[in-house]
């Protein structure tokens, strides 16, 4: 590995570690809490008391970012893993079994890609009680996202797995007596890795943003609890871009995290034999 790559890797680990520790130490770093409304200082710019200013009803933005990190950075990767798992299951298996199974899976995926899932989410909200704790609501939301977000990866996997079936080395392996789950595990799955990693990486920010958008249906994190998605939504009202640069902090943080993730994952891929 080049020294440069090594440096990046260390940086990425370092950044993720700092963010993780900071979010776990949120109670101590931001003793005011995420919900306290400093009504005399609503919409204030950064100051000694509020490092990143306050939001529209006077809540400390720094505290909200720290607490929001806990929610988003724990749940989004978990949901992304779920979607990767589902994609591998449906796409990998269908591609591996081939024939009728593959065609059925493709049809299912195409159908899945075009349905208005919004209405399923609205229905899910109706099934939840109104007084649901914010944490439960946000967990349900990420669960739904994970369960609905697997299709694009599965679509690519179907094709990858189908072409792998016809490839020389799988035929050779079959000839040498490797079959079934073992064949799938040793020879097929590793080749699906680039697609699965891509899916994982894309899903994290996509889910973080979708969670905030699902707020319009009454799903997702509920007031006063913060999430990165709800913090990023602040940018939407920022017509005069650049006047309040501190509002970009959540965005910068998210990009840094997503880039670090990608860097560690792709490094790992290259290190692996």
Partner 1 sequence: MLKTITRHGLEVVAVLLLGGFLSATLVRLAPGFATDEGLLDPHLNTASLQALRQARTAQSNIFRFYFHALSRALHGDLGTSISLGQPVTTLLRERLPLTLRLVGIGLLLSWSLAMALALSAAWLRTSAYDALTTAMSGLFLCLPAAVLALLSVLWNAPAALVVGLIVFPQVFRYARNLLTKAYSQLHVVSARAKGLSEWRILFWHVVPVVAPQLLAVGGISVSIAVGSAIPVEALCGLAGVGQLAWQAALARDLPLLTNITILVTLVTLLANSGADIIGQLLRGQEA
Partner 2 sequence: MTSRHLFFKVSRRLAAGVFVCLSLSILAAGQGELRFCLRSEPKTFDPLKVEDDASVAIRYLTGGGLVRLNRQTQVLEPELAESWKVSKDGRQITFKLRSGVSFSDGTPFSADDVAYTVQQLMDPALHSPVGDSFRSGPGNVDTKILSPTQISITFPAPVAGLDRQFDQVAMLSAHSPKKENAVLGPFLLADYKPGATVLLKRNPNYWKSDAQGHKLPYLASIRLDIQANRDVELLRFKRGEIDLINAIDSEYFDKLQQTSPQLVHDAGASLDSEQMWFNEVAKSPLPDYKKAWFRSAAFRRAVSEAINRDDLSRVVFRGHAQAAIGPISPANKFWFNAKLKPQSYAPEAALKALQAEGFRLENGALKDATGHEVVFSIITNSGNKYRERMATMIQEDLQKIGVHVNVVTLDFPSLIERMTQTFDYEAILLGLTNVGLDPNDQMNVWLSSSDNHQWNPSEKSPETAWEAEIDKLMRAQASFADAKKRKESFDRVQEIVVEQAPFIYLVNRNALSAVAAKVQGVAPVILSPQTYWNVELLSVK
Q: Is 35 in the site for partner 2 (CB under 8 A)?
A: yes
Nearest distance from C-beta of residue 79 to partner 2, angstroms: 21
| Residues of this chain, 196-235, that bind partner 2 according to CB under 8 A | 215-218, 222-224
Site membership for partner 1, residue 156 (CB under 8 A): yes
* CB contact at 8 A, 151 and 113: yes
Segment contacting partner 1 by CB under 8 A, of 81-89, 115-123, 133-141, 173-181: 115-123
Which range, of 19-27, 43-51, 61-69, 261-269, touches partner 1 by CB under 8 A? 261-269
Q: 57: which residues sit within 8 A by CB, 6+ positions away?
A: 37, 39, 42
CA dihedral 15, 19, 21, 26 (to 10 degrees): 160
Give the residue among 8, 83, 3 at the shortest CA–CA distance from 265. Answer: 8
Interaction partner, residue 43 (partner 1, partner 2, none; CB < 5-8 Å by kind) = partner 2
The site that binds partner 2 (CB under 8 A) totals a number of residues, namely 26
Give the one entry of partner 1, partner 2, none that residue 216 binds, where binding means its C-beta sits below a cut-off of 5 to 8 angstroms depending on kind: partner 2
Rounded Cα distance, 123 and 127, in Å:
6
Residue 133 lies near partner 1 (rule: CB under 8 A):
no
CA distances from 74 to 87, 207, 247 (A): 20, 12, 22
Interface stretch with partner 1, choices 32-40, 80-88, 136-144, 254-262 (CB under 8 A): 254-262
| Contacts of range 231-238, beta carbons closer than 8 Å, 24 or more positions apart | 231/61, 231/64, 231/65, 231/68, 232/208, 234/55
- Member of 56, 166, 168, 270 binding partner 2 (CB under 8 A): 56
Between the alpha carbon of residue 259 and those of residues 22, 166, 254, 266, the distances in Å are 19, 35, 8, 11
**120 belongs to the binding site for partner 1 (CB under 8 A):** yes
Q: Which residues bind partner 2 (CB under 8 A)?
A: 35, 37, 39, 42-43, 56-58, 122, 125-126, 130-132, 134, 215-218, 222-224, 236-237, 239-240
């Amino acid at each position: 590995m080049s020294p440069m790559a090594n440096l990046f890797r260390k940086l990425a680990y370092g950044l993720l570690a700092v963010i993780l520790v900071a979010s776990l130490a949120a109670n101590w770093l931001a003793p005011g809490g995420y919900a306290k409304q400093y009504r005399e200082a609503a919409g204030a710019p950064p100051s000694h008391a509020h490092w990143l200013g306050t939001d529209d009803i006077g809540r400390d933005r720094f505290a909200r970012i720290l607490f929001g990190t806990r929610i988003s950075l724990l749940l989004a990767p978990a949901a992304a893993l779920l979607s990767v798992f589902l994609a591998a299951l449906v796409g990998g298996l269908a591609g591996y079994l081939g024939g009728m199974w593959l065609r059925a899976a493709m049809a299912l995926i195409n159908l899945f890609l075009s349905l208005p899932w919004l209405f399923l989410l609205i229905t899910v909200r109706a099934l939840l009680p109104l007084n649901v704790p914010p944490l439960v609501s946000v967990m349900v939301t990420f669960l739904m996202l994970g369960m609905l977000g697997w299709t694009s990866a599965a679509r690519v996997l179907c094709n990858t797995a189908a072409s792998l079936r016809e490839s020389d080395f799988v035929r050779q392996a079959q000839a040498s007596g490797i079959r079934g789950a073992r064949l799938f595990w040793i020879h097929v799955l590793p080749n699906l890795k680039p697609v699965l990693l891509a899916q994982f990486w894309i899903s994290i920010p996509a889910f973080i943003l979708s969670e905030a958008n699902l707020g319009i249906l009454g799903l997702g994190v509920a007031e006063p609890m913060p999430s990165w998605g709800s913090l990023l939504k602040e940018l939407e009202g920022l017509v005069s871009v650049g006047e309040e640069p501190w509002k970009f902090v959540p965005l910068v943080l998210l990009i840094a995290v997503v880039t670090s993730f990608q860097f560690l994952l792709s490094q790992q891929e290259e290190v692996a034999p």
